[in-house]
């Protein structure tokens, strides 16, 4: 800026809106949520602004509806919650968020959540999703609009990557309350709050950050549809049976960057040249992954294969514009310049040539000045204080032309500047400023090209994440001798030689003694388990629960065989 600098708040950083990779866990979403409640209904909308995912659900008013709401909040475990005045005053909700979920809460008032303002915001922001909300369910719309209003107020930047809203109902996923999640140690142990020792630790052989986040999501939301479960199971079965494809797929996925968050940072405006290079590199691995999936006959894997879009035009643009990192890494900040590939822009090349040859220009001027003035003991050099200057030994200062200006006296010499030297210095320094500004302008054009393809990148990332989770399930099943369970709408719960997936892994080679389970809704409604302390009663009960949960995720289970009727909670 020239003169006074305008100062303004350009962004408010909160726990639910951080986007810096250093502040986020790769394999875990960072959700912010809005909660709306009135006398008729309660609803929530959740969003991870680093990936662009948004979800919403609503429930009837009353204790049962609040129970569902608490369970959904525990499922997503938001870092921050904005509550309407009605939600804020709902008994027990704020303490539950603060004390049980360690969630930052803010009273968002009623203005943000009014239907007249909420619906236009949601309809403008989301390209898809609002059509799934049942007619008359204004609570879900109010929660979505309230969250968007808060994000607009705090983020003050482009949020166009948050374009898809997924509305879901209670009957789509198995419902798990917070106590069940903690007791079964699904994502962290009860004692140490560590991943090691949890079911997630056993199942997570994902190779990408996107796959890691989706696996956690599938673990938090087991399916209730035998058809959808069977589709996942068949994809896992293909990869279990084809060990070569599975291993090659694992190696290929390891090279894929976090496309979701990279695209999010580009749209958000916080991306640098390294992010664009990483995006291009990640997309470049997709053709090989598509080839590997050709060998897998399952309908799900073939659908995912067809959804992998490596955006060849965008990759060609990014690869042509960004220089290779063979000699040195791309700069951390795009304001530093030096990231555009030679040959991409003629003006950049011309300015760089001037900078590269600056030393030779200085040497030429030094030789010419010595000839013109007869001063043999002189040199042209520079420092950060004066820039370029002419240093003359004191014995020869009598030969200095009158139009030179003295700048500094040292012990053995005098330092001068001349009009010719100042002109050359200006040309060199202005070239540096010009090339940096031009590179930043070209970078903005590249960002704009990426933003135009965000939908395609997000669809590709979603498909890639599913492929990664399926290969993770297959790797775990092959390594631990799991079986494919039969999942249907019966009331059967039959497990032959079932094992606890976590305890088995923690035994380090000691054989786990398997146990059978046989229950149904008619003759075998309950089982009484007896035995002394430390005999394994609790382990057996948790083992049955975990096997059911794994089966409804679409994973194979630790047993010789299993038939499981869908369990709703």
Q: Residue 133 has which token pair? A: 């909300």
- Tens of pLDDT along 255-265? 999 999 999 99
- Tens of pLDDT along 281-290? 999 999 999 9
- Indicate whether 191 pLDDT > 80: yes
Q: Which residues contact 138 (CB under 8 A, 6 or more apart)?
A: 115, 119
Q: Residue 403 has which token pair? A: 């139009």
Alpha carbons 304 and 325: distance in angstroms, whole number: 32
DSSP code string of 248-267: HHHHHHHT---HHHHHHHHH
Alpha carbons 327 and 325: distance in angstroms, whole number: 6
Whole-structure pTM value: 0.87
Would you state the pLDDT for residue 290? 96
> How far out from the chain centre does Cα 331 lie?
22
Would you state the pLDDT for residue 21? 84
Q: How confident is the model at residue 530 (pLDDT cuts 50, 70, 90)?
A: very high
- Tens of pLDDT along 491-504? 999 999 999 999 99
Q: How confident is the model at residue 509 (pLDDT cuts 50, 70, 90)?
A: confident
Q: How long is the chain?
A: 569
- Indicate whether 388 pLDDT > 80: yes
- Indicate whether 201 pLDDT > 90: yes
Would you state the pLDDT for residue 14? 93
Average pLDDT, the chain: 92
- Tens of pLDDT along 317-328? 999 999 988 778
- Indicate whether 97 pLDDT > 90: yes
Torsion of CA 379, 385, 387, 392, to 10 degrees: -20
Q: Residue 237 has which token pair? A: 């079965």
Instruction: Report percent pLDDT > 90 for the chain.
Output: 70
154 beta partners: none
Q: How confident is the model at residue 362 (pLDDT cuts 50, 70, 90)?
A: confident
Would you state the pLDDT for residue 433? 83
Q: How confident is the model at residue 182 (pLDDT cuts 50, 70, 90)?
A: very high
In the 3-class helix/strand/coil scheme, how is 442-504 assigned residue by residue? HHHHHHHHHHCCHHHHHHHHHHHHHHHHHHHHHHHHHHHCCECCEEECCCCEEEEEECCHHHH
> How far out from the chain centre does Cα 329 lie?
22
């Amino acid at each position: 800026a020239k003169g006074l600098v305008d100062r303004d708040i350009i962004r408010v950083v909160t726990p639910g809106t951080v986007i810096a990779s250093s502040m986020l866990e790769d394999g875990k979403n960072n959700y912010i949520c809005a909660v709306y409640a009135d006398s008729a209904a309660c609803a929530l909308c959740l969003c991870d602004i680093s990936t662009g995912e948004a979800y919403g659900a609503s429930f009837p008013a009353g204790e049962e509806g609040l129970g569902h709401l608490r369970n959904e909040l525990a499922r997503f475990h938001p870092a921050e919650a904005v509550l309407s005045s009605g939600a804020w005053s709902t008994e027990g909700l704020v303490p539950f968020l603060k004390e049980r979920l360690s969630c930052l809460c803010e009273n968002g008032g009623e203005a943000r959540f009014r239907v007249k303002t909420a619906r236009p915001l949601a309809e403008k922001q989301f390209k898809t999703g609002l059509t799934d909300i049942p007619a008359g369910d204004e609570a879900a719309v109010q929660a979505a609009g309230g969250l968007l209003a808060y994000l607009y107020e705090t983020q003050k930047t482009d949020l166009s990557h948050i374009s898809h809203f997924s509305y879901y109902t209670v009957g789509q996923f198995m419902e798990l309350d917070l106590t069940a999640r903690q007791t079964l140690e699904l994502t962290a142990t009860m004692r140490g709050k560590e991943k090691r020792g949890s079911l997630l630790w056993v199942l997570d052989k994902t190779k990408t950050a996107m796959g890691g986040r989706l696996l956690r999501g599938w673990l938090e939301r087991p399916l209730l549809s035998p058809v959808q479960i069977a589709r996942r199971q068949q994809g896992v079965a293909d990869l279990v049976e084809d060990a070569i494809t599975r291993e090659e797929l694992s190696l290929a996925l390891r090279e894929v960057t976090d496309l979701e968050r990279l695209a999010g940072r580009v749209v958000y405006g916080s991306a640098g040249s390294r992010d664009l290079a990483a995006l291009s590199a990640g997309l470049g691995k997709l053709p090989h992954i598509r080839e590997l999936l050709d060998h897998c006959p399952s309908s799900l894997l073939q659908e995912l294969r067809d959804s992998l879009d490596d955006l060849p035009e965008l990759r060609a643009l990014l690869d042509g514009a960004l220089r290779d990192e063979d000699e040195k890494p791309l700069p951390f900040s795009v304001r530093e310049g030096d990231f555009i590939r030679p040959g991409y822009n003629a003006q950049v090349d011309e300015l760089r040539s001037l900078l590269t040859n600056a030393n030779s220009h200085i040497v030429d001027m030094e030789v010419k000045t010595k000839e013109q003035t007869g001063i043999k003991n002189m040199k042209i050099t520079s420092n950060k204080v004066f820039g370029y200057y002419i240093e003359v030994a004191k014995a020869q200062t009598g030969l200095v032309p009158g139009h030179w200006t003295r700048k500094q006296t040292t012990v053995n010499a005098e330092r001068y500047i001349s009009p010719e030297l100042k002109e050359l210095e200006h040309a060199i320094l202005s070239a540096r400023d010009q090339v940096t500004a031009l590179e930043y302008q070209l970078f903005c054009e590249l960002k704009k090209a990426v933003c135009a393809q965000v939908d395609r990148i997000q669809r590709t990332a979603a498909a890639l994440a599913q492929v990664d989770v399926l290969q993770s399930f297959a790797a775990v099943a092959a390594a631990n001798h799991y079986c494919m369970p039969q999942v249907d709408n019966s009331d059967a719960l039959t497990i032959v030689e079932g094992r606890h997936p976590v305890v088995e892994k923690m035994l380090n080679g000691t054989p786990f003694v398997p146990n059978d389970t046989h229950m149904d809704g008619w003759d075998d409604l309950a089982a009484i388990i007896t035995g002394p302390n430390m005999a394994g009663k609790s382990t057996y009960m948790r083992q049955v629960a975990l096997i059911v949960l794994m089966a409804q995720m679409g994973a194979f289970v630790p047993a010789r065989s299993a038939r499981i009727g869908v369990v709703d909670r």
